């Protein structure tokens, strides 16, 4: 990509793929979901842009079979199009997680992926993955 330096072009993609573009932090309110009954919790995901560029961002969350994003427990994956995040800006996304009659006591892993896009949501520059645990307890 050194050839672009001759013509005055800047290769922004190489700068964004060299480092982690986001910092992800997760908080659950309340801390747990009750087993074998209809119960819910709100997962608050804080997403901070660590780069010096404005990033078009989306967040993908995936749940295990025993939990869901709706009261029936049918929806297991959710994509949130966050939009543009300015350099060093932090945005908070709230996701409701529901347990049902088939959620047994234990720890369940939730997978979160923050994706940096180029031009539109169809082109991916870089992504950051994080796994977190949701506690399901017997009452």
**In the 8-state DSSP scheme, what is residue 113?**
E
Angle at 95 between CA 91 and CA 101, to 5 degrees: 165
Taking the model in full, what pTM does it have?
0.85
Residues 81-131 pLDDT 10s: 999 999 999 999 999 999 999 999 999 999 999 999 988 999 999 999 999
Report residue 78's pLDDT band, with 50, 70 and 90 as the boundaries.
very high
Domain boundaries, the chain: 3-137
Residue with token string 């297991």: 76
pLDDT score for 16? 59
pLDDT score for 14? 58
Over 90: is that where the pLDDT of 2 sits? Answer: no
Q: Which two tokens stand for residue 100?
A: 């049902």
Q: In the predicted model, what is the mean pLDDT of residues 29-46?
A: 95
Q: In the predicted model, what is the mean pLDDT of residues 52-68?
A: 95
Over 70: is that where the pLDDT of 59 sits? Answer: yes
pLDDT score for 95? 97
Report residue 12's pLDDT band, with 50, 70 and 90 as the boundaries.
low
Over 50: is that where the pLDDT of 1 sits? Answer: no
| Yes or no: domain 3-137 corresponds to CATH 3.40.50.1220 | no
Could you give the CA distance from residue 12 to residue 17 in angstroms, rounded to a whole number?
9
Could you give the CA distance from residue 123 to residue 69 in angstroms, rounded to a whole number?
26
Is the four-CA dihedral 33, 94, 63, 110 of positive or negative sign?
negative
CA atoms within 13 A on the CB side of 118: 11
């Amino acid at each position: 990509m050194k050839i672009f330096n001759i013509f005055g072009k800047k290769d922004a993609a190489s700068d964004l793929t060299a480092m982690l573009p986001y910092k992800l932090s997760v908080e659950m309110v309340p801390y747990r979901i009750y087993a074998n009954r209809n119960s819910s919790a709100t997962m608050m995901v804080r997403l901070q842009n660590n780069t010096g560029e404005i990033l078009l961002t989306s967040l993908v969350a995936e749940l295990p079979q025993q939990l869901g994003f709706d009261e029936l427990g049918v929806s297991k994956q959710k994509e949130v199009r966050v939009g543009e995040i300015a350099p060093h800006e932090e945005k908070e996304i709230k996701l409701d997680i529901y347990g049902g009659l088939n959620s047994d006591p234990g720890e369940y892993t939730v997978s979160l992926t923050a994706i940096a896009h180029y031009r539109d949501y169809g082109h991916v520059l870089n992504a950051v993955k994080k796994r977190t645990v949701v506690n399901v307890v017997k009452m």
